[in-house]
Amino acid sequence: MKSDNKNIRHLSLPALQEYFGSIGEKPFRAKQVYEWLWLRHADSFEAMTNLSKELRQKLTEHFSLPAVKVDTVQQSNDGTIKSRFRLHDNHLVEGVLIPTDSRQTACVSSQVGCSLSCKFCATGYMDRKRNLDYDEIYDEVALINQQAQETYGKKLSNIVFMGMGEPLLNYKNVLAAIERITAPDGLGMSPKRITVSTAGVAKMIRQLGDDKVRFNLALSLHAANDKKRSEIMPINDSNNLKELIAALNYFYKATENEISFEYILFKDFNDSKEDADELIKIYRQVPADLVNIIEYNPIDMARFQKPEAKTAEEFMEYLAKNRVNARLRRSRGKDIDAACGQLANKG
Ligand code: SF4
């Protein structure tokens, strides 16, 4: 459990140096501790073995280190690994490792639950309990990175913020976590390998542009007209497609980072030729690199179904004929409820 002590990972290196100065310790000790916290990802003061016992004791008395713990792990028959992580206050979030021949991708959560209530998503049926702190998001990534190395002998190559929660409604922590994930004294990953996926918060998409972020952005589109989109994603009532298109263009102008769309195919809802035409129209209004067409993974609470394979194929062919760079993303980890939209399904 977290104590009332201040979380040591909420201190910057200069603040840590100041603290070490105040207790008469040499400044290089602060650097050593900082390295333990981020680069070496220590989950307790006890683990910092090159510090004296007295110093470790002092740190324990003064600070807390509420590290995220792996609670349960499930491995799919396609190699996907889903982990349930326990936070210091016993809340649970899920993260997924998706291995392919060329990539090791982590799909991470940014909130406990979600407030956006998308109708096709299991997390959307939970309330939002709280935001994850940036050190907790960092822990998720570091723990999945460890799994990738232990299981597949490779480090993580990509990260997608497509797990539980809306990352742009936990803006500060997501950006701070990415800063640590990309820092040379953190996980040292390239921001070009990170994609933040949003259900569409126009104001914060513009903020990403103003902040000149270096990671990529994906918009969960899922329906290409306002009526249908509002039906499955209530956030569309306050952030309609016109506003989102304008915000995405603003983001691109400010950063030139990659933009992609996510589009889950739902049987008899958004899988017709007319739907494809509307999708093409939106694609042409945004400098998007890619449309990921995603196979729907049924969840217990929703009425949607997956279209026939032939319908999906025809949809893809039609997009290709109209020069849309689209890719059909097959589900991974379906058997363990680790696939897109399934996190938090079945408890
Ligand atoms: S799809 Fe994303 S934004 Fe929508 S309810 Fe699920 S977690 Fe929240």
- Domain coordinates of the chain in residue numbers? 6-64, 69-336
Q: Whose CA is nearest to atom 4 of ligand 1?
A: 118
- Rounded CA gap, 12 and 113, in Å? 29
Instruction: Give the phi and the psi of residue 195 in degrees, each rounded to 5.
Output: -125, 125
- Residue 86 and residue 156 in contact, taking contact as beta carbons nearer than 8 Å: no
Span from the CA of 99 to the centroid of ligand 1 (angstroms): 23
Any atom of ligand 1 within 6 Å of the Cβ of 175 = no
* Nearest atom (ligand 1) to Cα of 124: 5
- Residue 113 and residue 334 in contact, taking contact as beta carbons nearer than 8 Å: no
User: Which architecture, in CATH terms, is 69-336?
Assistant: Alpha-Beta Barrel (3.20)
- Residue 335 and residue 82 in contact, taking contact as beta carbons nearer than 8 Å: no
Any atom of ligand 1 within 6 Å of the Cβ of 123 = yes
Site of tokens 């713990």: 69
Please give the C-alpha separations between residue 82 and each of 194, 216, 328, in angstroms, as whole numbers: 19, 24, 22
- Rounded CA gap, 256 and 309, in Å? 35
Q: Identify the pLDDT of residue 1.
A: 46
- Residue 92 and residue 84 in contact, taking contact as beta carbons nearer than 8 Å: yes
Q: Identify the pLDDT of residue 112.
A: 96
Best residue for ligand 1 mutational test, from 116, 131, 222, 337 (most atoms within 8 Å of Cβ): 116
Q: Identify the pLDDT of residue 99.
A: 96
Q: Identify the pLDDT of residue 347.
A: 47
Q: Whose CA is nearest to atom 5 of ligand 1?
A: 124
Q: Identify the pLDDT of residue 340.
A: 66
- Rounded CA gap, 214 and 257, in Å? 7
Instruction: Give the phi and the psi of residue 137 in degrees, each rounded to 5.
Output: -65, -40
Positions of the chain with pLDDT lower than 70, given as ranges? 1-3, 339-340, 344-347
Q: Identify the pLDDT of residue 29.
A: 94
Same fold across 6-64 and 69-336: no
Q: Identify the pLDDT of residue 3.
A: 67
DSSP H or E run through 173: helix 171-182
User: Does pTM top 0.85 for this prediction?
Assistant: yes
- Residue 132 and residue 78 in contact, taking contact as beta carbons nearer than 8 Å: no
**Class of 6-64 in CATH:** mainly alpha
Any atom of ligand 1 within 6 Å of the Cβ of 264 = no
